[in-house]
Structure 1
Amino acid sequence: MEVYFGVDIGTSSLRCGAFDLKGRRLWISQQELNLFTDTQGAAEQDPEEVWQAFCRALTQCAAKGKPQGVGLSVYMHSLLAVGEDWNPLTPVFTWADSRAVGEGRMLGSLPQTPSLYKKTGCRFSHPMSPAAKMLWLKNHRPQVWEKAAHLVTLKEFLVHRLWGENVVDLSDASSMGLLQMGRGEWEEEMLALVGAGKDRLGMLRPCTSALPPLPAFMAEKLGIPADTPFALGSTDGVLANVGAGVFSQERMTTNIGTSGALRTMLPVPYEDEGLSLWCYTFRPEMWAVGGSINNGGLVLKWLRDRFLVPLGGSQAGAYALFDRWAEEVPVGCEGLVMSPALTGERSPDWNSAAAGGMHGLRPFHGIEHMARAAMEGVLFRMYSIYRLLGERGFVPGELVAGGGYARSEVWLQMQADLFDCPIQVPRETESTLLGAAYLAMENRGKVQFGQLLEGMEPVRRYEPRKETRGPWQEAYGRYQELYRRLEQGKGE
């Protein structure tokens, strides 16, 4: 049996999954990753820890069967500085790092910002953007900035560690806010704004590019043959659509992992006049358009670690317990509403200063109401993106769910009711892993791009319940009011 690996590097874990040619997952290795945060907005990873996790995951998977190909995926908007020897000068600044708020605002205030947004398809005026992070590094760590020979994404760092190649895939480059949309070249005006020349950036390569054979010592370290083909791959967002079998705008993916996103695919680049949505390249005939939120599953993890575990609950059974509680509490949580912006927010209003909050607490409310309010709050953020996409003419016939939340029948039914749209769950919910493996299969000529696999076939479907439409809209109205007050600083 032919086996293909997909590797997905995330903010909370790194996973390697093995798939057959039908897209059926055979086994998986997961390595937990630390995210280091502080009160100043830092959200960092140790690149050496990620490297060691990468090696362990591949080694463990390869011990069960040798792959005929490997595809790579990584989260968007990462940045680290390395010296001439490629040793890290900084930690990895993740998408959740919010210290570049001032730099983002400066970029957003420029008269040429609208034209640059149309050129890049990226909301570079938000602290998630590597463009803003570069300016922050230049302003706040000038000595490191001067020593930095290369400013790279996390995947570039890993690829160089493996092959000594200084390359960046077009999707990863697109999410940096520094790439010309539709031309596949670095945007000179943006580079001038952040003060980074092309010599500090990687060589641009298509996501379908094949990497060279592994050096013998590296192949031995990973436990795989040196001639194993590796596909350079793409970002987690784009590959989530690929792994879900969403290749056109007829359908839309909905993913909630640590963060969350809604995405569809277009055959041509899209320019949003409101500068609210983003458009990232995947391949010449395919572009990912959508919006993303900072606070997805991390909100339930926060609730688990800060409230449930201190009260004697277990981490292992927390999410099943949240599901049971959510089923017991009616829509709207009997007046309790939560804004889940624990780490600021992205789409659709790109408010990095947004803060979380709860309103409407009464003596009869318990932790079960808080659990339901957290789940509703995340969906309200997703719904605000969905409404915007609808206003822009992107109205899918159905949503395809992926990510950790796709295991929660309760959460999915809640979303179908709120969105008033059917949601299907494919056989393989680890869509990003499958998407990465899919590129490895394509690289070997085993699949034609756009070909649906068994792992992409729907196994569950959730239909919206019309009788809940009114209560959901009332609850969403209360959420909007809370968010508006918190944004204005009233917090009441």
Structure 2
Amino acid sequence: MSADTKMVLAIDIGTTSTKTLAVDLAGKIHGSHSIEYPLHTPSPGYAEQDPDVIYEAVLDGVAHVMKKGGLLADDIWCVTFSSANHSLILLDESGIPLTPSITWADQRSAAQAERLLKDGTGLSVYSRTGTPIHPMSPLVKLIWMREERPDLFHSAQQFVGIKEYILNKLFGIMVIDHSIASATGLFHLETLTWDSEALQLAGIREDQLPRLVPTTERIHGLKREAAERMGLGTDTPFIVGAQDGVLANLGIGAVEEGVLAVTIGTSGAVRTTVNRPTFNPEGRLFCYALTKDHWVVGGPSNNGAIVARWISDRLYPGKPMEEVLPLAAAVPPGSNGLLFLPLLSGERAPFWDAQAKGVMFGLTLAHIETDMLRAAMEGVLFQITAIVSLMKQAGEQPREVRASGGFARSALWCQMMADMLGVPVRVPDSVESSGLGAAQLGLYAMEGCHGSLLRWKETEGSLYEPDATNHRLYQGILPLYLNLYDRLKEPMREITKLQCTPA
């Protein structure tokens, strides 16, 4: 197989599944395979996974794509990674896990996060690391672990995330890319080093963390057993890769000024690419690394399509969500005076409030199921719009949105987003945004980081133009929506205390 016909394998390690793609050098996907695994929530606040189950999913996913595609080891130009953020695994001196992989969704460190925010320490750390203070952050998880599980904390020799754990299993090396590191709350964005003050706050040493490398770092020496399992050669080049969020921007071509990427899957996120680290004065937007010349600024929401699934299951039990969402088209914008705060899983941006709760506001005897359905869909988008408003305050002026994730399959939801944001929304044909971003980063790295990072221009896809009348209506509702949260923030905390009080 010639260089032009070789394949890139992109391994996308997500929260609920790992997907492997075989992509040719022109950006065409020739094969894919997804392997799901559980998220364990044994008690309130817990959100954990078995790291070895995810490792097996990586091996089996590659093996399946290789075998099904009839690919040989020599057909592979390189292997590259995308990975979810904010996971934390404690390892002993032999690299054996002392804990499960504690995911971004774990809420047990909520009290520590709130303390850091109240005493001002959190904003100081954010101003150097670009990671908002929240239970998602490995920094905050480490503080919780030190205070609540000192036995485990002091037994640990290393602190890693899921991608670092898998790379160590594959190569016997402990490295972390700048992109994943920039989401830990422990990484100084300006110096590209571990932040000494954050390490002191966490109570760990630099030698207990993986070695920092660029996202384009090339590594060799795949262990023979892993190579045989996957159908690769021990000399197959691997590119360390980056986190799924920044790679999603690359995958859908949102690396130009004024182009926002909005992803709404289970959770949601808004991101734009900039050429230097950028911070929000209040610590409410993240700033993560992609390459030395590309940084991604934005905000994540806990409550995306999971909200639509929740209300669909309760209002229309037994009916597929894909059949339920179009029913909201019968309701006018504004949901007949109904507002829904979709904060069912607490919230990250724009509120960064782990104790936030869902609220249906304005209910009357006249409201019916479809009103509530549309209010829930609008609520998810009000959260997205509020994040975009923060980005506008930071000087980012969107002219177009590139949409991806499960919500992008709903024409109604995409039109609602265009109306609410007041800019066109484009849905590219491919939904594999993070995987394609990883493949492009891999090729960029293999070519010595020369030329354009954006190798493939996305196809036109579907375009949704905003309705000016609807946009004005939503602009009038947004301040009421945000004020509703502000008024209910303290009662949300009070009801949390009631829920925690033993009977």
The reply to whether TM is greater than 0.5 is yes
Moved more, 244-253 or 178-187: 244-253
- What are the superposed Cα offsets for residues 231-268 of structure 1, whole Å, 9 maximum, x if unpaired? 10000111011111222333121111121111111111
**Hey, what does 1:379 align to over in structure 2?**
381
Paired AA for residue 148 in structure 2: H
- What are the superposed Cα offsets for residues 193-222 of structure 1, whole Å, 9 maximum, x if unpaired? 110111210000100001213122111111
1:55 aligns with 2:59: yes
How well do the aligned residues superpose, as a CA RMSD in angstroms? Answer: 2.2
SS of the equivalent of 1:389 reads helix
SS of the equivalent of 2:68 reads coil
What stretches of structure 1 move > 6 A for 4+ residues in a row? none
Question: Any gaps of 5 or more consecutive residues in structure 1?
Answer: none
The verdict on how the C-alpha distance between 1:283 and 1:455 changes in structure 2, with shifts beyond 3 A counting, is: closer
1:312 aligns with 2:318: yes
Match of 2:447 among 445, 448, 458: 445
Say if 2:220 and 2:237, in contact at 8 Å, map to a contact too.
yes
**Hey, what does 1:433 align to over in structure 2?**
435
**CA distance in structure 1 between the partners assigned to 2:355 and 2:455 by the alignment:** 42
The verdict on how the C-alpha distance between 1:446 and 1:191 changes in structure 2, with shifts beyond 3 A counting, is: closer
Deviation at 1:40, TM superposition (A): 2.9
Match of 2:27 among 23, 30, 34: 23
- What are the superposed Cα offsets for residues 299-328 of structure 1, whole Å, 9 maximum, x if unpaired? 2233345554xx333xxxx23213311222
- What are the superposed Cα offsets for residues 119-176 of structure 1, whole Å, 9 maximum, x if unpaired? 11221x3111100000111111111112111111111111111111111111111100
SS of the equivalent of 1:249 reads coil
- What are the superposed Cα offsets for residues 2-53 of structure 1, whole Å, 9 maximum, x if unpaired? 2212111111222112222222222221122211225531111121221222
Say if 1:325 and 1:369, in contact at 8 Å, map to a contact too.
no
The alignment covers a number of residue pairs equal to 485
**Hey, what does 1:158 align to over in structure 2?**
166
**CA distance in structure 2 between the partners assigned to 1:97 and 1:87 by the alignment:** 21
Say if 2:377 and 2:413, in contact at 8 Å, map to a contact too.
yes
Question: Any gaps of 5 or more consecutive residues in structure 2?
Answer: 496-503
The verdict on how the C-alpha distance between 1:85 and 1:451 changes in structure 2, with shifts beyond 3 A counting, is: closer
**CA distance in structure 1 between the partners assigned to 2:453 and 2:164 by the alignment:** 29
**CA distance in structure 2 between the partners assigned to 1:39 and 1:372 by the alignment:** 32
**Hey, what does 1:249 align to over in structure 2?**
257
- What are the superposed Cα offsets for residues 441-471 of structure 1, whole Å, 9 maximum, x if unpaired? 2233299553544562322211101121233
**Hey, what does 1:70 align to over in structure 2?**
79
**CA distance in structure 1 between the partners assigned to 2:458 and 2:227 by the alignment:** 31
Match of 2:192 among 184, 195, 203: 184
**Hey, what does 1:472 align to over in structure 2?**
474
Paired AA for residue 130 in structure 1: P
**Hey, what does 2:329 align to over in structure 1?**
327
**CA distance in structure 2 between the partners assigned to 1:393 and 1:328 by the alignment:** 37
**Hey, what does 1:408 align to over in structure 2?**
410
The verdict on how the C-alpha distance between 1:278 and 1:451 changes in structure 2, with shifts beyond 3 A counting, is: closer
**CA distance in structure 2 between the partners assigned to 1:479 and 1:254 by the alignment:** 20
Paired AA for residue 12 in structure 1: T
Match of 1:34 among 34, 38, 46: 38
Say if 2:440 and 2:455, in contact at 8 Å, map to a contact too.
no
Moved more, 456-465 or 375-384: 456-465
Moved more, 165-174 or 321-330: 321-330
**Hey, what does 1:170 align to over in structure 2?**
178
**CA distance in structure 2 between the partners assigned to 1:174 and 1:451 by the alignment:** 20
Question: Normalised by the size of structure 1, how large is the TM-score?
Answer: 0.93
Say if 1:24 and 1:428, in contact at 8 Å, map to a contact too.
no
Match of 1:298 among 294, 301, 306: 306
Structure with the greater relative contact order (CA < 8 A, sep ≥ 6): 1 or 2?
1
**Hey, what does 2:276 align to over in structure 1?**
268
**Hey, what does 1:119 align to over in structure 2?**
128
The verdict on how the C-alpha distance between 1:447 and 1:156 changes in structure 2, with shifts beyond 3 A counting, is: closer
